[in-house]
Amino acid sequence: MPAASTIALAVAPAEIAACFPVLQQLRPHLVAADFVPRIQRMQREEGFRLAALTDAAGTVRAVAGYRFYDKLFSGKNLYVDDLVTATADRSRGHGRALLAWLKQEAVAHGCVQLELDSGVQRFAAHRFYFRERMHISSYHFVADLRA
């Protein structure tokens, strides 16, 4: 982990709000005014967790949203909804540290896999995941039900 960095769950409203600028870089459609209540609802109703990597000054440099679930074909998993390092802080070890923390979290909770989906256009992210010894295991199909 980069020197003087810490990783902790964002639970209090101020901790959740501090994650917004970094997470919005991955999810630009998010609206600041809706962010904290939405995360709190997801935490309460869906078991969502939000982890933040902060530097010595307390600035959030990387964020991961994740949850645990069980699948019949593979067992208990940690699923990463969101994994993002602030654009200005990339290639400094923050993403690697956060992913390593997520793997430890998965093992500590009895998971047999850590999974995530990554948009097909995110080539830099894919290079990172391959370097971290992850592999492509399946296609992910989506049906848009809004039409």
pLDDT at residue number 20: 98
Mean pLDDT of 13-28: 97
* pLDDT tens for each residue of 102-139: 999 999 999 999 998 777 778 777 787 778 888 888 87
Distance CA 37, CA 82 (A): 17
CA 93 to chain centre: 15
> The domain that contains 58 carries what CATH number?
3.40.630.30
Q: Which domain holds residue 72?
A: 6-131
Confidence of residue 4 (pLDDT cuts 50, 70, 90): confident
pLDDT at residue number 34: 97
pLDDT at residue number 127: 82
Residue 1 lies in a domain: no
Q: Strand pairing of 49-54 and 6-9?
A: antiparallel
pLDDT at residue number 120: 74
* pLDDT tens for each residue of 57-110: 999 999 999 999 999 988 999 999 999 999 998 888 899 999 999 999 999 999
Distance CA 130, CA 40 (A): 32
pLDDT at residue number 142: 83
Residue 115 lies in a domain: yes
Distance CA 134, CA 136 (A): 7
Residue 142 lies in a domain: no
Alpha helices in the chain (DSSP H): 13-26, 32-46, 94-108, 123-131
Residue 39 lies in a domain: yes
Residue 124 lies in a domain: yes
Residue 10 lies in a domain: yes
Distance CA 34, CA 29 (A): 11
- Alpha-carbon distances, residue 90 vs 2, 118, 130 (angstroms): 12, 17, 16
Residue 41 lies in a domain: yes
Contact 68, 76 (CB under 8 A): yes
pLDDT at residue number 128: 73
